[in-house]
């Protein structure tokens, strides 16, 4: 099978990221929530 490399230039990446104002917010919220839940479960001895 032949692989095709697709490279984006810097302008395309910037355009994609700036088109979504809060593109990182949901990801960061989910990660923080998961970490807090894991820490609480560990502290309570659930794990």
Alpha-carbon dihedral of residues 17, 18, 19, 23, nearest 10 degrees? 60
CA–CA dist 14, 19 (Å, integer): 8
pLDDT digits (tens, 9 = 90+) for 21-34: 788 888 899 999 99
The model's pTM is 0.55
- Please state the domain extents for the chain: 23-47
Using pLDDT thresholds of 50, 70 and 90, give the confidence band for residue 18. Answer: confident
Residue-averaged pLDDT of the chain:
85
Q: What pLDDT is stored for residue 16 in this prediction?
A: 79
């Amino acid at each position: 099978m032949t692989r095709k490399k697709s490279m984006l230039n810097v302008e395309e990446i910037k355009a994609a990221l700036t088109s979504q104002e809060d593109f990182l917010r949901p990801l960061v919220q989910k990660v923080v929530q998961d970490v807090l839940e894991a820490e609480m479960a560990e502290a309570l001895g659930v794990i």
